[in-house]
Structure 1
Amino acid sequence: MAISQKQSHAFQLFDAANGKDPNIEIYKGEEFPKELLYSLRMTDMLTRFAPNASEVLQLAARCQHICRWEIPRENYEMDRVGYLKWREELKKFHAQKAAKLLSRVGYDQDVIKEVEFLLLKKKLKKNAETQTLEDVVCLVFLQYYFEPFIKKHSEEKLLDILQKTWRKMSSQGQMAALELSISGKGKELITKAIADGAE
């Protein structure tokens, strides 16, 4: 996907912000700030899944988790209600952070509002770009972050996670998920999750 000079500048600001993440992830022997690596994975997955994605969608994908570490999960009750509250606060936080940086770059309010709309996941299953962003989020999770869950959680918990993930995805996203390069155990769990009730 070709990108404009303005978009390139926005990516630079997003990456600089995420580059401050104190949490480090090692990937292929190299250290990355965790959210910077996540943002690069989002852009890469979007390019593969939706090569003709709009500029707005490309921007939203790159800043999906911008400065996420500033609102830690531990600040909320460690139950379902606390988790959902944390997720809602994060979406608003990401949208506000992105809006400020996009304004600095010189994007007009229409573009900024569209990026905020996507980051807030409005009209999921009804808006094509919101759905594409959610598909990419799910694909990145399955490709890069599900494997560590296998070692930490029971099969029952893993199947629940997979079924919830599967229901968020479009049929195209689900097809792409089945083609991901993941472990045999991961594929086995996905197959079982689908058979056990994911639609």
Structure 2
Amino acid sequence: MSSPYTKALSAIDAAHSLDPKKVTVNGAEIPYELHYAQKMFDHLSNRLPGASEPLRLAVRAQHFRRWEVPRDSYPMTRIGYHAWRTFLKKRQAELVQQICIESGYEADVAARVASLIRKEDLKDDEETQVLEDVACLVFLDDQFEQFEREHDEDKIVGILKKTWGKMSERGHELALQIPMSERPLELVKKALAG
């Protein structure tokens, strides 16, 4: 018989598998959000090897069904971006909380998973900080090089500074171990020097 954790993880990954956007990893095409969730898990295992079940589920569901609410469904402004992100966190938390309950978790555990997905008490809750570190590490490891090609240097340096400011000291240590090509590494150094 499957545990609540196994059931919830399977349901989360089944939803990720529906993402129409695909990426090629090791020669195989997979849904982007499944790839993203796996990267999140990989970085969590480095950041906090003995992570609790609620944290592991929240990390796995960080972008749960995100493709269903595209960025351009909100105004393409800074305020629009923040409104989009706020809506996504709330929506993702509610959907995953329901999955946890349907998988057999008690209401308090499901609520904890949702709280982590919403990144509540970021500076005071160690697990929320771990989730934030992991999200930042995945950005730097998996998304930054593409992002760097699409934006001007000032914007990139500003975003790197904000990303760095969200992370813990342990997150910083792990970020500095991520292999990067010459230009992205140069931008990271510039952001950290400023």
TM-score tier, shorter chain, comes to over 0.9
TM-score normalised according to structure 1 size: 0.94
Unaligned runs of 5+ in 2: none
Identity, in percent, stands at 45
Render the CA deviation track for 1:69-104: whole Å, top value 9, x for unaligned. 111111100000000000000000110110111111
Is 1:152 the counterpart of 2:150? The answer is yes
Matched with 1:55 is 53
Q: Which moved more, 1:166-175 or 1:181-190?
A: 181-190
Higher RCO by CA contacts (8 Å cutoff, separation 6 or greater): 2
Contact 2:47 2:134 in 1 (8 A): yes
Rounded to whole Å, the distance in 2 between the matches of 1:50 and 1:187 is 25
Q: Within 1, Cα distance between the matches of 2:189 and 2:124?
A: 26
SS at match of 2:20: coil
Q: Secondary structure at the match of 1:180?
A: coil
Q: Work out the CA distance in 1 between the residues paired with 2:41 and 2:147.
A: 23
CA RMSD, aligned part only? 1.1
Is 1:165 matched up with 2:166? no
- Structure 1 residue identity aligned to 2:94: Q
Q: Which residue of 1 aligns with 2:103?
A: 105
CA distance in 2, matches of 1:14, 1:181: 29
Where does 1:13-162 land on structure 2 (aligned, <5 Å)? 13-162=11-160
Which residue of structure 2 lines up, in the alignment, with residue 194 of structure 1? Answer: 192
Number of residue pairs the alignment of both structures matches = 193
Q: Per-residue deviation at 1:24?
A: 1.0
Shift in Å at residue 16 of structure 1? 0.3
> Conserved in 2, the CA contact under 8 Å of 1:125 and 1:170?
no
Query: 8 Å contact 2:47–2:170 — kept in the other structure?
Result: no
Q: What SS does the aligned partner of 1:20 have?
A: coil
Deviations 1:38-71 (A, max 9, x none): 1111111101211011111101001111100111
Q: Distance in 2 between matches of 1:145 and 1:30?
A: 18
Contact 2:4/2:100, CA 8 A, preserved across alignment: no
Tell me, in whole angstroms, the C-alpha distance in 2 between the residues paired with 1:28 and 1:145. 17
- Mapped to 1, the partners of 2:82 and 2:75 lie a distance apart of 10
Q: Structure 2 CA distance, aligned partners of 1:53 and 1:34?
A: 24
TM alignment of 1:168-183, pairs within 5 A: 168-183=166-181
Runs of 4+ in 1 over 3 A off after TM superposition: none
- Matched AA of 1:42: M
